[in-house]
């Protein structure tokens, strides 16, 4: 199966999955929430809640608001003004190489590596537009950025790391990605023009992460080609890996093969295995 078919199949499964969830959600959520609210409020409170306006999902609005809160928080919390803490360089070290999903070392030729970029911004057509194919020299032609920030693994360890690479936002800017109009993005003032999601995958498509566009465009989110002052090693994701300061390490995909800007919330390897899709910290 070709890589594209693989992606398309995942997309189809996603669509079917979403369909099922759409059907199930109002019922399961409502019964769960109704039980929880009844337990919390007692009868009087419950009467008040029931008689409050119901919204589209049939969930009384005070409850619905708390549902929306998580997504709202994830989308606005990491605005460009909120920077992750930085550290003095002497505290930085190379972290342990953690996770090798999609990093088959035997089968990988660094010299043949290309970064494919796909713009799937027209959801009506659902067509994969001709992709941009970039080499490492194209990434290195973007302004070089160094930062000393923390890598936090969801398993409970963290390490201050000295990273070097290009800002993801500079890639988006240079190639006019990230917006529906193709105009330069403006996270603060023109959020409605942003393509809402980015998907990143290893070249074999085995490991894949989804990001909200705000986190992808965060000024400290890097496409890294160096860690700890040295060129990236294969086990840390050579030739190019992602680092997202506002997310747990699971989102910092090693060995990026493909970046897709999309209107649909992308599949995410660990979200499918029960972790929070946003995985912010």
Ligand X SMILES: Nc1nc2c(c(=O)[nH]1)N[C@H]1C(S)=C(S)[C@@H](COP(=O)(O)O)O[C@H]1N2
Binding residues for ligand X (CB under 6 A): 95-103, 153, 202, 207, 236, 249-250, 252-255
Of 64 and 205, which CB lies nearer to ligand X in the complex structure?
A: 205
CB of 172 to ligand X, least distance (A): 21
Closest alpha carbon to 276 in 190, 154, 135, 131: 154
Residue 218 interacts, among Mo ion, ligand X, none and using kind-specific CB cut-offs from 5 to 8 Å, with none
**What are the b/e assignments for 145-180, b being 16+ CB within 10 Å?**
bebbbbbbbeeeeebbbbbbbbbbbbbbeeeebbbe
Of 20 and 97, which CB lies nearer to ligand X in the complex structure? 97
Nearer to Mo ion, 219 or 249 (CB): 249
User: Taking Cα atoms as reference points, which of 148, 142, 146 lies closest to residue 160?
Assistant: 148
- Minimum CB separation from ligand X for residue 257, in Å? 9
Binding site for Mo ion (CB under 5 A): 153, 249
Is the separation of the CB atoms in 227 and 239 below 8 Å?
Answer: no
Shortest distance in whole angstroms from residue 253 CB to ligand X: 5
Give the angle subtended at the CA of 265 by the CAs of 192 and 275, to the nearest 5°.
Answer: 130
Q: Which partner in ligand X, Mo ion, none is near 103 (CB below 5 to 8 A by kind)?
A: ligand X
Of residues 90 and 273, the one with the C-beta less far from ligand X: 273
Q: What's the min distance (Å) between Cβ of 157 and ligand X?
A: 8
């Amino acid at each position: 199966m070709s890589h594209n078919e693989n992606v398309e199949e995942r997309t189809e499964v996603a669509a079917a999955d979403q369909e099922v969830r759409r059907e199930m959600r109002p019922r399961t959520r409502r019964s769960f929430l109704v039980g929880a609210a009844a337990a919390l409020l007692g009868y009087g409170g419950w009467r008040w809640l029931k008689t409050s306006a119901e919204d589209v999902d049939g969930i009384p609005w005070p409850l619905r608001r708390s549902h929306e809160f998580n997504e709202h928080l994830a989308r606005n919390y990491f605005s460009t003004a909120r920077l992750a803490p930085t550290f003095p360089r002497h505290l930085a070290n190379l972290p342990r190489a953690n996770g090798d999903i999609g990093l088959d070392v035997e089968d990988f030729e660094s010299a043949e590596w290309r970064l494919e970029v796909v713009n799937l911004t027209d959801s009506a057509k659902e067509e994969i537009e001709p992709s941009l194919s970039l080499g490492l020299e194209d990434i290195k032609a973007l302004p070089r950025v160094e930062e000393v920030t923390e890598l936090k693994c969801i398993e409970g360890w963290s390490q201050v790391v000295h990273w070097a690479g290009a800002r993801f936002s500079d890639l988006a800017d240079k190639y006019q990605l990230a917006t529906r109009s193709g105009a330069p993005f403006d996270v603060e003032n023109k959020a409605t023009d942003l393509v809402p999601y980015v998907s990143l995958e290893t070249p074999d498509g085995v490991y894949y992460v989804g990001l909200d566009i705000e986190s992808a465009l965060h000024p400290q989110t890097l496409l890294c080609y160096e860690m700890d002052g040295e060129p990236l090693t294969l086990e840390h994701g050579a030739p190019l890996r992602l680092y997202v300061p506002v997310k747990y390490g699971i989102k910092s995909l090693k060995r990026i093969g493909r970046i897709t800007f999309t209107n649909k919330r992308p599949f995410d390897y660990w979200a499918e295995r029960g972790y929070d899709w946003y995985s912010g910290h």
